[in-house]
Structure 1
Amino acid sequence: MKSETATSCNETLFRRYRQTGDSAALSALYDQHCNNLYYYLLVMSDPNTAADVTQKVWLKVMESKQDYQSQGRFQAWLFTIGHRMLIDEFRQSKRWQADTDPDSLGSVAPVSDNQTDFHQLLKHLPFTQREAFSLQQEGFSLQDIASICDVPVETVKTRLRYARNTLKKHWKTS
């Protein structure tokens, strides 16, 4: 029920911003979602790229306010923009490497004893697995993740399964 209230509040705030240009409504949305968006982008890239893309996403939100379809969740729309802009950033800087080859799924560099930090392990996952796992940790449903990544729900399930199995296999608690 709490998430339904938050979703309703987000929809109301964005509708107010879209219809009247109310900067306080946009500011409230920014305050509510900026850190989560930045963290997602940080997990998927590096601090500079995450900061740059986060700024570009909010500019895109302002430019594209009429494109938003209220049947979806604002946060899912925001993260979809973030996903697409991050991929564009990687392509422009020639850092994009598709890792969707089934043979590469689940492969990760071994974690040494002194490198048991979960975030480091997460960074070693293939991009698509890390993305699905990170989005799930942000509270998105399988359907939302599929929509954000523009893949079928079954693909999301597979990516999550491989990510969890790899994380379990390589995580060392000592």
Structure 2
Amino acid sequence: MFRKNDDRQSDEALMVLLQSGDAGAFDALYHRYSQRLLVYFLRMLGNDRDKADDFLQDLFLKVIDKGGQFRAEARFSTWIFTVAHNMCKNEYRRREVRKVIDPEADVEAVSVLDAGANPGIHEALDRQRFQSRLQQVLLTCDDNQRSAFILRFQEHLSIREISEIMDCSEGTTKSRLFYVTKKLGKALGEFNPQVNGVLHHAGK
């Protein structure tokens, strides 16, 4: 049961409480992170809501089962997104095996932009075209580049945090962001200024 006083607790303090068997701490962490992680899974898994829901459920089961692996001095947000990222990596590997077995397997899209609130019809159509094209381009990117882009653009994580989540150097993260934003800029130039806003934010 979610308790209001848990709002004053840090993520890390709640995780320590969870490790001691405090069910309320789990509810508080779920309340804070479930929507963000659901959106992350949706965008990494091609807007497949059923699969994203399954991944979210599995992730929070891992929080309970593997919570003892969390170190109190670490950032909880980095830890949980690392678990989520690794789940997606395993899914990508499974899909690669499926492609070898079934070359006709569908390619799933990745959605990384939300439409603005109450846009006009022309703006809505333009955003739809932009989003569709962006999905197509991201699908041609390396999985690690796509993941870095989503963590940077959607979650606004720092280079350091992304590097910890993806278990790579900061230089590698910067390189992945450089190449994916360069590719997006070249492919989506016709949509200026929308694309400039995305690339400016992602490349900081």
Equivalences for 1:9-24 in 2 at 5 Å? Answer: 9-19=10-20, 21-24=21-24
Rounded to whole Å, the distance in 1 between the matches of 2:180 and 2:98 is: 22
Contact 2:137–2:187, Cα closer than 8 Å, also in 1? no
Rounded to whole Å, the distance in 2 between the matches of 1:25 and 1:13 is: 5
Return 5+ residue gaps in structure 2 as ranges: 1-6, 101-125, 193-204
Deviations 1:45-93 (A, max 9, x none): 1323322222111111100111101222101100111111222233345
Give the ranges of 4+ consecutive aligned residues of structure 1 lying more than 3 Å apart after TM superposition.
none
Structure 2 residue corresponding to 1:133, chosen from 146, 149, 152: 149
State the superposition RMSD in angstroms: 2.6
Rounded to whole Å, the distance in 2 between the matches of 1:75 and 1:43 is: 18
Q: 1:120 to 1:160 in 2, by over 3 A?
A: same
Deviations 1:10-34 (A, max 9, x none): 1121111112x22221111111111
User: Offset at 1:96?
Assistant: 8.3
Q: Relative contact order (alpha carbons < 8 A, sep ≥ 6): 1 or 2 greater? A: 1
Please, what TM-score do these two structures have when normalized by structure 2? Answer: 0.65
Rounded to whole Å, the distance in 1 between the matches of 2:93 and 2:149 is: 22
Amino acid of the structure 2 residue aligned with 1:29: L
Rounded to whole Å, the distance in 2 between the matches of 1:33 and 1:145 is: 17
Rounded to whole Å, the distance in 2 between the matches of 1:150 and 1:45 is: 20
Q: Is residue 2:162 matched to residue 1:145?
A: yes
Q: 1:92 to 1:126 in 2, by over 3 A?
A: closer
Q: Is residue 2:69 matched to residue 1:60?
A: no
Amino acid of the structure 2 residue aligned with 1:45: L
Q: Is residue 2:121 matched to residue 1:120?
A: no
Equivalent residue, structure 2, for 1:155: 172
Equivalent residue, structure 1, for 2:81: 79
Rounded to whole Å, the distance in 2 between the matches of 1:96 and 1:39 is: 25
Contact 1:122–1:130, Cα closer than 8 Å, also in 2? no
Q: 1:92 to 1:169 in 2, by over 3 A?
A: closer
Q: How many corresponding residue pairs?
A: 152
Considering only CA atoms, is the larger Rg found in Structure 1 or Structure 2?
2
User: Offset at 1:148?
Assistant: 1.0
Return 5+ residue gaps in structure 1 as ranges: 1-5, 98-112
Rounded to whole Å, the distance in 1 between the matches of 2:68 and 2:148 is: 28
Counting aligned pairs with the same residue, the percent is 31
